[in-house]
Amino acid sequence: MSQEQLYDALLDALYATFGNHPGFRVAHAKGVLVSGVFTATPEAKRHSRAAHLQGEPIPVLLRFSNFSGVPATADGDPMASPYGLAIRFTLPNGVSDIVAHSFNGFPVSTPEDFLFFLQGIAASGGETPNSAALDAFLAGHPQAKSFLEAPKPVPHSYVGLSYYGVNAFVFENDLGQQQAVRYRIEPEQPELPAQADEVANWEVDHLQIELAQRLAKGDLHLRLVAQLAESGDNIADGSVAWPQSNKSVVLGVFTLKELLPPDRQLETQQALNFNPARLPDGIKASADPMISARQHIYEKAMIRRNSL
């Protein structure tokens, strides 16, 4: 199978799971856009010469989303997790994105394995379920098994949990020094997850409503953190989290100011396509094969969702 065929097959597998919803993303279909500003810490520029890490305020758009490719998925539904956070930085000479989710890892390390995983999940559901392929896959892929079995807590707020970039990127500073990093976006104060009995009474759009209510009271803040790779860490395998003891650097703070107005929300979301491989000078992709795969798949996904 060529790379092109692999990417199309991955999109086919996602469409088979979630169905056709013209205009909507086939994953993370339901979302909400917030505008704000990112301001880097003085330490950030020591690690990368990227334009948004030099300390000037940078306009940003943040899209919080539910994992499912079904737009009507309730915010407290198990299929809403991992929750997504995509960030668009508008730099003086272009744009750059971060695309993260609320799980510190991914079920697999390559796009090929992701296809086996999705096909196994599809075969184990539906009218004539057959879990043999999925069982065999999980037996040989412990990260995929632990991803499926890991608790997926429902947050009280889209700004109350941490999001992880999963795939590693390489920072380069003015001196040409390089450092592999993984992103984490975290709340100012950690918040406890919601309890199942509360979530059972939530409205379908509970987290969107909660975000609007919080923003109506004033600006909100999230930190952008880079976890630094240490010797022995696997740069190319996003399915394995690096040790928590690794050094982390606070790169800056997002100040979330306002929701896009309701009449511009959907249209603007559908027209945007975030891409984790859209990088400025001073940040490049690591050896992780998922970055190039995601680059091409997200480009294809945008074209496909707009031509359904």
Range 37-56, binding ligand HEM (CB under 6 A) = none
Q: Which of 38, 48, 60, 65 binds ligand HEM (CB under 6 A)?
A: 65
Nearest to 101 by CA among 149, 148, 66, 51: 66
Stretch that binds ligand HEM, among 21-29, 49-57, 136-144, 188-196 (CB under 6 A): 21-29
Alpha-carbon gap, residue 45 to 34, rounded angstroms: 26
Alpha-carbon gap, residue 3 to 266, rounded angstroms: 32
Amino acid at 30: K
Pairing of strands 31-40, 248-259: antiparallel
Q: Which of 107, 165, 280, 282 binds ligand HEM (CB under 6 A)?
A: 165
Q: Which of 274, 282, 286, 288 binds ligand HEM (CB under 6 A)?
A: 274
- Whether residue 79 contacts residue 70, with contact meaning beta carbons closer than 8 Å, is answered with yes
Range 275-294, binding ligand HEM (CB under 6 A) = 290, 293-294
- Whether residue 47 contacts residue 272, with contact meaning beta carbons closer than 8 Å, is answered with no
Residue 154 dihedral angles phi and psi, to the nearest 5°? -95, 125
Tell whether residue 141 is a contact of ligand HEM (CB under 6 A): no
Binding residue count for ligand HEM, defined by CB under 6 A? 32
Tell whether residue 184 is a contact of ligand HEM (CB under 6 A): no
Q: Which of 6, 31, 162, 237 binds ligand HEM (CB under 6 A)?
A: 31
Tell whether residue 99 is a contact of ligand HEM (CB under 6 A): yes
H-state helical runs in 64-203: 111-123, 132-140, 142-149, 196-199
Tell whether residue 166 is a contact of ligand HEM (CB under 6 A): yes
Q: How far is the CB of 281 from ligand HEM (least distance, A)?
A: 23
Give the x/- contact pattern for ligand HEM in 197-236, rule: CB under 6 A: ----------------------------------------
Q: Which of 18, 28, 161, 180 binds ligand HEM (CB under 6 A)?
A: 28
Tell me the residue length of the chain.
308
Alpha-carbon gap, residue 157 to 155, rounded angstroms: 5
CA 303 centroid distance within chain: 20
The two counts, helices (H) then strands (E), for the chain are 9, 10
Q: In the complex, which residues of this chain contact ligand HEM (CB under 6 A)?
A: 10-11, 14, 25-28, 31, 63, 65, 84, 86, 99-101, 106, 111, 114, 165-167, 238, 273-274, 290, 293-294, 297-298, 301-302, 305
